[in-house]
Amino acid sequence: MIHADLLGDRARITPDKTALVEVATGRRLAYRELDERARRMARVWVEALELAVGERVAILSHNRTEYLEAFFATAKSGVILVTLGTRLTAPELAGILDDCGAAVVLVEASMPVVDELRRQRPALRFVSLDAGAAGGDGDCLPALAAGLGRDEGALTGRRAGPEDVSCLLYTSGTTGKPKGVMIPHRMVIWNGYNTVANWQLEESDVSPIFTPLYHAGGLMAFAVPLVTIGGTMVLHRGFDAAEVWRTFEAEGCTVVLGVPAIWKMLMEDPAFATTDLSRVRWFISGGAPLPEYLIEAYNRRGVVFKQGFGMTEVGVNCFAMTVEDSYAKKGSIGKPMMLTEVRLVDGEGRDVEAGEVGEMLFRGQHVCVGYWNAPEATAAALDADGWFHSGDLARRDEDGFFYIAGRRKEMFISGGVNVFPAEIESALLLHPAVEDAAVVGIEDERWGEVGVAFVVRRGQVEHAAEDAAEHAAVDGAELEAELVRHLGERLARYKIPKGWRFLSELPRTAYGKVVKGDLKTLYREDTP
């Protein structure tokens, strides 16, 4: 049976190894100290807040030590953690809290949305992560922890099992109502071990974590694997390019995860050219397609750049590649990790041949147990044989390397032929004048649907506001003709977009995914 208390076991083995460096405060915690803090968090939930096994406690906060304490406290208490996005509005947060039935909400009281959320849900108990919270000392975590008295070790009868739910991670909701993905402890542990084995992490690895911890990528991509192997997490409150570069040198970072938007901002920071990267083993990008010009820019600085793929429901780390493959197979997400089953199937559920596009199906210990309070959605995603139907399309080459072709819901049919936006986007990103690109299908009387491309020109942000409109009119017309020619050399004619829009930036989620529904709305509003 898989033991759920990952942090407790790691602290037992390497108690004095540095587990966490918190950049905002300068705090440095050994594994023993981080484990003690997580155990104290668990005691607050059980003894002070009287939460029963299976009850839900939500957390609304930027990255901080207490966030990790809460995550690892789930294995020590049997309580389920619900992570809340810091960019959501009060009504959106209230909807998630209603859906999960949270009993307590841990908050950073300084966040403006907290007061509105209190007004909308007055029956909920809000506990500040900081001392001096409004409403009395009993409403803040430090006071609750101080009132517990002596730490007497593990909580009796509270050891979580492998299939018990550790946390609910709500999907971004870019295509509909957010759903709470039920992450069992088994999935957390498996993600840690499999990532260590397939990505070849080492106990000497040091990694900055600047992606939000409310997202699966922030918690699972490197935090859990680093604890598994005994590495060091360098926790940033949020993303600041200059601060991240300083951390690289100060802490000797070796492996780093980011999304394309972050890699671009890091590249554009002046410190990109001067920071000592000699201790970096490799960078890895996920969350969205990575433009080749970014890969080449980092390669010129001597950095190995890999791409990965994952999703909340099947673990954030599902594929792997060697350093050599990262050069030979640019654009690929690699091969499925060991003990991970992946199929590519057509609309009838039949396996497709190499080179053909199919939906990715996943099976293994890294798959979730379904969606919270959503049996129909769970049944639609998880079939009777244990295969999770991802909705993501991909192709596999003759060497077994996978390439993302987009979401099944994003595919459109033009003139009776399937068109995959990700294929067009990848081709657009090869053009030196294109910084970012997205393609959506729009209804068309003649063809049924046609593609519309939304493009961000390289250097777009450098143009002054007063001449931006003129620049867009002139360069847009010229660039459109050039991009049509560029695509015509690489893609079949029916795949070339029929409409073009040039924007200063694309709407993205906090984790880098383009919100294509917003692009469709923008096109319809902008089209007579």
Q: Within a domain: residue 206? A: no
Concatenating the DSSP letter of every residue in 133-154 gives: -TT-GGGBHHHHHHTT-S--SS
* Cα–Cα distance measured from residue 96 to residue 232, given in angstroms and rounded to the nearest whole number: 32
- Report the DSSP pairing between strands 104-107 and 56-60: parallel
Tell whether 450 is covered by a domain: yes
CB burial of 282-303 (b: ≥16 within 10 Å; e: otherwise) equals bbbbbbbbbbebbbebbeeeee
CA–CA gap between residue 422 and residue 432 (Å, rounded): 18
416 domain residue, yes or no: yes
- For helices 185-199 and 6-13, the axis angle rounded to 10 degrees is 50
Calculate the dihedral angle through the C-alpha atoms of 429, 431, 432, 436, rounding to the nearest 10 degrees. -30
Residue 66: inside a domain: yes
Q: Does any domain span residue 379?
A: no
The CATH number given to whatever domain includes residue 57 is 3.40.50.12780
- Sequential pLDDT tens for the chain (528 residues): 456 899 999 999 999 999 999 999 999 999 999 999 999 999 999 999 999 999 999 999 999 999 999 999 999 999 999 999 998 889 989 999 999 999 999 999 889 999 999 999 999 999 999 987 654 445 899 999 988 877 666 676 677 889 999 999 998 654 457 899 999 999 999 999 999 999 999 999 999 999 999 989 899 999 999 999 999 999 999 999 999 999 999 999 999 999 887 898 899 999 999 999 999 999 998 876 677 778 889 999 999 888 888 889 998 899 998 888 888 887 789 999 999 999 999 989 999 999 999 999 999 999 999 999 999 999 999 999 999 999 888 999 999 999 988 777 777 878 777 787 878 888 898 888 898 899 998 888 778 888 999 999 987 544 333 333 333 433 578 899 999 999 998 888 889 999 999 998 898 875 567 888 889 888 887 776
Angstrom distance (rounded) from CA 368 to CA 443: 35
Neighbours of 415 (CB within 10 A): 12
Where a domain ends, among 184, 210, 227? Answer: 184
Residue 275 within any structural domain of the chain: no
Q: Tokens for 318?
A: 């599902």
Q: What percent of the chain is modeled with pLDDT above 90?
A: 62
Q: 500 near 419, Cβ under 8 Å? A: no
Question: CATH code at 528?
Answer: 3.30.300.30
Question: How far is the C-alpha of 408 from the C-alpha of 405, rounded, in Å?
Answer: 9
Looking at 126, 155, 184, the residue that finishes a domain is: 184
For residues 44 and 74, the answer to whether their CB atoms sit within 8 Å is: no
Looking at the structure of the chain, the number of domains it has is 2
Q: 């991909």: which residue's tokens?
A: 394
Which of 184, 210, 229 corresponds to the end of one domain?
A: 184
Q: Is residue 170 part of a domain?
A: yes
DSSP output for 159-196: PPPTTSEEEEEE---TTSS--EEEEEHHHHHHHHHHHH
For residue 293, give every residue at least 6 positions away whose Cβ sits within 8 Å of its Cβ, in sequence order, or none.
429, 432
Q: Residue 464 CB: number of other CB atoms within 10 A?
A: 7
Q: For residue 427, is it within any domain?
A: yes
**Residue bearing tokens 């090869």:** 430
Determine what percent of the chain is predicted with pLDDT higher than 70.
92
Residue 390, H or E segment: strand 388-396
Cα 155 from Cα 152, distance rounded (Å): 8
Burial of 179 (0-12, 13-18, 19+ CB in 10 A): buried
Which range of residues forms the domain containing residue 71? 6-18+31-184
